[in-house]
């Protein structure tokens, strides 16, 4: 894949930069600016080269039309604060505002376009509609750089189609993400453990299937664990359960035992009367969850168990919190796993936090990015890479190599 250096002289050139600025918002307040910070090195590389940087990104899931709650205006403001320079903001994506803002850029300036997904062409399955939007985006620039790893698994106008219309390269963030994920899939240093959490096991079936042939240990927590417990024949009360996946999970358990992959499940859970921080809750054995309670976190003995099974690992990938970490009574399990990764990182192991809720959780719980080997900006993209899927936003740069 071509890098920014392969694009040649950039001074005075308009560079369309696809970043991942899909940050969580509380109203107009950004609650975690990790993805904005992750975008800074590539933006600075371009501005220092004298490029006129046109940043495009999405936020949330608007339905192809403007919605104020999904505006990138607060993101542009925060980006300017972090860069220490003014950042212009276009109130549309490819309209008169965008054209005017881009025309006014000087060498080293930065502008942010409004949310790409306000235009239906960005995510359209119709190639002609998507292509037409890509043409309009490409008309704003002289070159294109892909640096939004969190969207490279999407075949979208700003991710895939624009790269076929302009001299294109990948930025430093995408290069780093791919390099790290290759280390997880190509002869990882062992023991290699994968920690999976989050709400639904169905979201991770593909990655579990692939990892059973790669990882030495698979540690399971979060809402998805109750489907595993049900597959073992245990009562899970009112916990989140995907009943239609029980047979599939049972097959995974049998396959893991046959292939010598250790699957580690919680031995205790924090069970509450309802999904609330104020609900009555208690620690119970994982195989004895009361019928009228729901599990909302792994328990303290499980946190110790998980930490012990990570302590000697040389490679760890973690995706998904261990419980409803946003509520204090159910955050301890996620914090225990995070601390276990910090400890093993200190021994020289490669630890990768797989984006999304996991990244938000470690920051919310007081950990620093530098405490881990790598915090990915792309939860879904990371998982699909580990599944062995071809990611359109990477594939297009591989196929374009040498064609211009």
Instruction: Say if residue 362's pLDDT is above 50.
Output: yes
Binding residues for ATP: 204, 295, 326, 355-358
Q: pLDDT band for position 357 (50/70/90)?
A: confident
Return d(Cα 309, Cα 302) in angstroms, integer: 10
Cα distances (angstroms) measured from residue 255 to each of 192, 228, 287: 18, 13, 22
Query: What is the fold of 178-387?
Result: Rossmann fold (3.40.50)
What mean pLDDT comes out for the span 45-69?
Answer: 97
3-state SS assignment for residue 4: helix
pLDDT digits (tens, 9 = 90+) for 23-56: 999 999 999 898 999 999 999 999 999 999 999 9
pLDDT digits (tens, 9 = 90+) for 364-375: 999 999 999 999
Among 50, 108, 131, 380, the active-site one is 380
Determine phi and psi for 337, rounding to 5 degrees: -65, -45
Cα distances (angstroms) measured from residue 22 to each of 123, 152, 165, 192, 229: 15, 13, 25, 30, 34
Q: pLDDT band for position 390 (50/70/90)?
A: very high
3-state SS assignment for residue 297: strand
Count of CB atoms within 10 A of residue 325's CB?
Answer: 25
Question: Does the active-site annotation cover 183?
Answer: no
pLDDT digits (tens, 9 = 90+) for 194-211: 999 998 888 888 889 999
Question: Does the active-site annotation cover 155?
Answer: no
Q: Which residues contact 275 (CB under 8 A, 6 or more apart)?
A: 294, 296, 324
Return d(Cα 232, Cα 250) in angstroms, integer: 7
pLDDT digits (tens, 9 = 90+) for 274-309: 999 999 999 999 999 999 999 999 999 999 999 999
Which strand ranges, in their side-by-side order, compose the sheet holding 268-272?
A: 281-285, 268-272, 294-298
Among 14, 18, 34, 35, the active-site one is 35
The pLDDT, as a whole number, for residue 401 is 54
Return d(Cα 287, Cα 285) in angstroms, integer: 5
Among 200, 255, 301, 314, the active-site one is 200
Q: pLDDT band for position 354 (50/70/90)?
A: confident
What mean pLDDT comes out for the span 246-268?
Answer: 96
Instruction: Say if residue 399's pLDDT is above 90.
Output: no
Instruction: Please tell me the CATH code under which domain 4-170 is placed.
Output: 3.40.50.1260
Instruction: Say if residue 402's pLDDT is above 80.
Output: no
Question: Does the active-site annotation cover 380?
Answer: yes
Binding residues for (2R)-3-phosphoglycerate: 35, 117, 154
pLDDT digits (tens, 9 = 90+) for 145-163: 999 999 999 999 999 999 9
The number of helices, as runs of H, and strands, as runs of E, in the chain is 13, 17
The pLDDT, as a whole number, for residue 101 is 98
What mean pLDDT comes out for the span 316-320?
Answer: 95
Return d(Cα 404, Cα 392) in angstroms, integer: 19
The pLDDT, as a whole number, for residue 200 is 86
Provide the token pair at 213: 């042939």
Q: For residue 386, what is the DSSP state?
A: H
Binding residues: 20-22, 35, 58-61, 117, 154, 204, 295, 326, 355-358
Return d(Cα 23, Cα 279) in angstroms, integer: 29
Cα distances (angstroms) measured from residue 149 to each of 44, 121, 307, 310, 342: 17, 20, 29, 27, 24
Q: Burial of 131 by CB count in 10 Å (0-12 exposed, 13-18 middle, 19+ buried)?
A: middle
Q: pLDDT band for position 400 (50/70/90)?
A: low
What mean pLDDT comes out for the span 320-342?
Answer: 97
pLDDT digits (tens, 9 = 90+) for 78-109: 999 999 999 999 999 999 999 999 999 999 99
358 and 326 Cβ atoms separated by less than 8 Å: no
What mean pLDDT comes out for the span 118-134?
Answer: 97
More confident site: 404 or 305: 305
Among 197, 356, 379, 393, the active-site one is 356
Question: Does the active-site annotation cover 99?
Answer: no
The whole-model pTM stands at: 0.89
Domain with CATH 3.40.50.1260 in the chain: 4-170, 178-387
């Amino acid at each position: 894949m071509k890098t920014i250096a392969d694009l040649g002289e950039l001074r005075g050139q308009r560079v369309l930069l696809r970043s991942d600025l899909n940050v969580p918002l509380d109203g107009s307040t950004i609650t975690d600016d990790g993805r904005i910070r992750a975008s800074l090195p590539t933006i600075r590389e371009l501005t220092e080269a004298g490029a006129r940087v046109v940043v495009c990104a999405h936020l949330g899931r608007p339905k192809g039309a403007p919605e104020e709650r999904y505006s990138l205006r607060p993101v542009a403001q925060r980006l300017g604060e972090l860069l220490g320079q003014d950042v212009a903001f276009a109130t549309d994506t490819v309209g008169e505002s965008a054209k005017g803002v881009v025309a006014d850029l000087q060498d080293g300036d930065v502008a942010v376009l409004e949310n790409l997904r306000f235009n239906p062409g960005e995510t359209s399955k119709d190639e002609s509609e998507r292509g037409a939007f890509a043409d309009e985006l490409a008309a704003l620039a002289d070159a294109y750089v892909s640096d939004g790893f969190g969207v490279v698994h999407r075949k979208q106008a700003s991710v895939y189609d624009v790269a076929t219309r302009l001299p294109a390269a990948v930025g430093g963030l995408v290069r780093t993400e791919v390099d790290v994920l290759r280390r997880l899939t190509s002869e990882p240093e062992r023991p290699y453990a994968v920690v999976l959490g989050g709400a639904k096991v169905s979201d991770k079936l593909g990655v579990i299937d692939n990892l059973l042939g790669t990882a030495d240990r698979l540690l399971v927590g979060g809402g998805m664990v109750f489907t595993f417990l049900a597959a073992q024949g245990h009562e899970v009360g009112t916990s989140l359960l995907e009943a239609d996946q029980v047979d599939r999970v049972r097959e995974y358990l049998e396959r893991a035992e046959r292939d010598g992959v250790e699957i580690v499940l919680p031995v205790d859970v924090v069970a509450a009367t309802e999904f609330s921080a104020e609900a009555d809750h208690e620690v119970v054995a994982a195989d004895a969850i009361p019928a009228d309670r729901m599990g909302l976190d792994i328990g303290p003995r499980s946190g110790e168990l998980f930490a012990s099974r990570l302590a000697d690992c040389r490679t760890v990938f973690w995706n998904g919190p261990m419980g409803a970490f946003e509520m204090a009574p159910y955050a301890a399990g996620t914090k225990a796993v995070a601390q276990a990764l910090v400890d093993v990182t200190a021994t020289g192991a490669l630890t990768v936090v797989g984006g999304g809720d996991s990244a938000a959780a470690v920051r919310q719980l007081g950990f620093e990015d530098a405490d881990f080997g790598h915090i990915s900006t792309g939860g879904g993209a990371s998982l699909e890479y580990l599944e062995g899927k071809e990611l359109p936003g990477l594939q297009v740069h591989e196929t374009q190599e040498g064609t211009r």
